[in-house]
Amino acid sequence: MGIALSGGVDSLYAAYCLIEEGHEVVGLHMRIRKDGEDREEEEHLASRARLIGINEVYTVDLQSEFHDRIVRPFVEAYLKGITPNPCVHCNPLIKFGLFAEIGFNLYGIERFATGHYARIVPSPYRNGRFAVARGRDTKKDQSYFLFALSQLQLVRTIFPLGRATKSEAKKWAKEYGFPDLAGKESQEICFLGNRSYVDYIESIGLEKGNEGGPIKDLEGNVLGYHRGIHRFTIGQRRGIGIPSTEPYYVVRLDGATGTVYVGRRKDVYRRDCTVGRVVWGALEEPSEAFKAFVKIRQQHIPAEGNIIPCGQGTVRITFREPQPAITPGQAAVFYDADGVILGGGIIQGGEEDQ
C-alpha cells in the first residue's frame, strides 16, 4: 500500500489507520515547490513516518510537471478574468495521475491512499461504476475536489479518513506526540506558501494582466480604474474602490478588454450556467435531463438544479433558486441526495452565460 504523505496531520493519521488495519505501507511524498521549503518539510516527514512504523518514504520530484500543468494554467486563467481551482485539476492529473503512476510502476505499490476526507462507493445505479461520496465529517468533506478522478483511479484508491473526523485526527496527533500538527490546517492552495494568490501572481512576473483597466457598471459607464483584472473574482465586494452609498460587487470580468463590471448584490445572483469538461461519476453519460444537488464551490451549500446534457462534455444547469457568484473557472459538482457524486465539470464564461 502506498500513501501520499504531505507532512500534515491528515496524511499521517491516514497512514497510521492503514498500519493499524494490517497493511504494509510505503510513504510517497510529492515535491512540487521551487522555493526550497519542500526539503525542510521532507526531513520532518521522514522522521515522523518512522515513528508510526513507515520505514520507506520516497520523494517524487514533480516540480516541472506541476508548474507546467497546474501553476502556469492557474496564472494564465487569472490574467484572463477566470478564477481557477487548481486542486480539481491537480488531483486527476498530478496526485492521482503522474504521482500515483510512479508509485505503481517504480515502487510496486498495489493501492494508492491519501488523507482526503471523502469516500469511494459503488454506484447506486448498479452500473459497475464507482464514485466519490461525501465523507463522514461534513465540515471537512473534500469530495468536491475529487469529482474528476477517472474510474481506473477510483478503483485503485483508498481514502482511510472517509469515516473519520478532523477532531479525531487532531486528538490522535496530540496523543501520538505530534501536538504541533494538531493546530495546523492544510493550505487551501499548497503552492502559494504564505502569500496571497495576488502576491504570488505578481511575484513571478506578468506579461499581461497587471496593466489595469476600467471598472464599469452594467450600463457600460466607467466608474473608475483598477490595477489588474487578476485582483478580482465574481461576487467580490472588498477592494473595488468605488465610493457609493450602497456596496458594489464584481458581476463580470472581461479578460479580453481588462474590464471589471460591477453591480449591486442582487446582480450577483444567477439561475443558469454552462458547465464544460464534464466527468461522470456514479452516472454514465446521460442523454436526458435529471435533477441533482449542485455545489459551485467548496463552501457552497449544494443547491437543487436541473442538469441538461448538451453533448461534447457539456451540460446546462438551471437552478431552482438563483445562486450567488457562479464563477467561471470553478467546478460545479452534481450530487445525489445521499452525497454521492454523479458528475461534475468546470463552469464556463462568456456573454451567453451572463
Which residues have a catalytic role annotated?
90, 190
258: left (phi over 0), alpha (psi -120 to 50) or beta: left
Largest CA distance in the chain: 67
- Residues 113 and 93 sit within 8 Å (Cβ to Cβ): no
d(CA 354, CA 342): 26
What are the Cα distances from residue 207, in Å, to 66, 188, 191, 226?
21, 26, 21, 17
Q: Are 15 and 5 in contact (CB under 8 A)?
A: yes
Could you tell me if 24 and 184 are in contact, meaning their C-beta atoms sit under 8 angstroms apart? no
- Residues 62, 94: contact at Cβ < 8 Å? yes
- How far from the centroid of its chain's Cα atoms is residue 136's Cα? 19
What is the length of the chain? Answer: 354
**Please, what sign has the CA dihedral across residues 281, 126, 154, 284?**
negative
- Residue 325 phi, psi (nearest 5): 55, 55
**47 CB-near residues (< 8 Å, 6+ apart):** none
Cell 433558486 belongs to residue: 321
Q: What are the grid coordinates assigned to 264, written together?
A: 449591486
344, β-bridge pairs: 279, 333
CA–CA distances in Å: residue 87 to residues 191, 198, 325, 330: 11, 17, 19, 10
Q: What angle do CA 342, 349, 214 make, to 5 degrees?
A: 150
- Determine contact, residues 94/65, Cβ cutoff 8 Å: yes
User: Strand, coil or helix: what is 137?
Assistant: coil
Residue 288 CA to its chain's centroid (Å): 28
